[in-house]
Homo-oligomer: A and B are copies of this chain.
């Protein structure tokens, strides 16, 4: 990754402050909103059907993206998600879909399949277990953490990208991003990152911020994973455990500049 290329997108996010509309899980609402603000984007959380079309319309007007995350799904929320995805597709608002816990229960896997088949997203972002569950119902997910290596998910990611004509971004020790043809990897990050809840969900909302300012979803997804990895490294070097890593990670997102990118890359 070239530092100027990555920096260009970060600078755009800071200038344009894209609106990232998330329908996400209860666990990560605070931490993902803080990550977006720290990077320079503008978060909004809204899920009620009564305002889905209007909120997506606002996102279209001011510029932004829609992030769907099924982490704590229930029927009323899934209805709002479907409505928002349809509205976003109609208005060409980028859609990032995070299938948290897909494969853990049939309800999760089935809900993902229904939402994705109704409205193919711009980018699917998950861990290896989730990506494999979406492309092949034979794998079993243990909870919401990954128990599959990113390598093992390479084939599944390619299949999934082709099936929905989208980009698939798989987080892991080495992140993998593919549009079904080209594949990029991000072999960076910090070992403590999986010990902080919701950093995968954070990757999804940051992917939304990048997709809002970069029309190439493969590049947007890759840039987001680079920012995750580099800020994870910066935070990990200062942290004394996962509690302080989370704090330093937010600070690192805020303080990231072109010089730091050059040094790290």
Give the number of times this chain occurs in the complex, counting copies: 3
Q: What residues of chain B lie closer than 8 Å to A74, measured between beta carbons? A: 47-48, 50, 76
> At the interface, yes or no: A11 with Cβ under 8 Å from chain B?
no
Interface segment among A82-90, A159-167, A219-227, A239-247: the answer is A239-247
Chain A binding site: helix, strand, loop or mixed by DSSP? helix
Judge whether A55 and B104 touch: CB under 8 Å.
yes
Q: How far apart are the CA atoms of A254 and B51 in the complex, in Å?
A: 38
Judge whether B240 and A54 touch: CB under 8 Å.
no
Judge whether A51 and B243 touch: CB under 8 Å.
no
> At the interface, yes or no: A71 with Cβ under 8 Å from chain B?
yes
The residue among A30, A47, A246 with the most chain B CB atoms within 10 A of its own CB is A30
Contact residue among B25, B62, B242, B247 (Cβ-Cβ distance under 8 Å from A37) = B242
Q: Which residues of A contact B (CB under 8 A)?
A: 19, 21, 25-31, 33-34, 37-38, 42-48, 50-51, 54-55, 58, 62, 71-76, 101, 104-108, 140, 142-145, 194-198, 239-244, 246-255
Judge whether B50 and A75 touch: CB under 8 Å.
yes
Judge whether B42 and A27 touch: CB under 8 Å.
no
Judge whether B243 and A243 touch: CB under 8 Å.
no
Q: What residues of chain B lie closer than 8 Å to A73, measured between beta carbons? A: 48
Q: A243-B34, A251-B243 are in contact. Are A45 and B71 (CB under 8 A)?
A: yes
Q: What residues of chain B lie closer than 8 Å to A104, measured between beta carbons? A: 44, 46, 54-55, 58
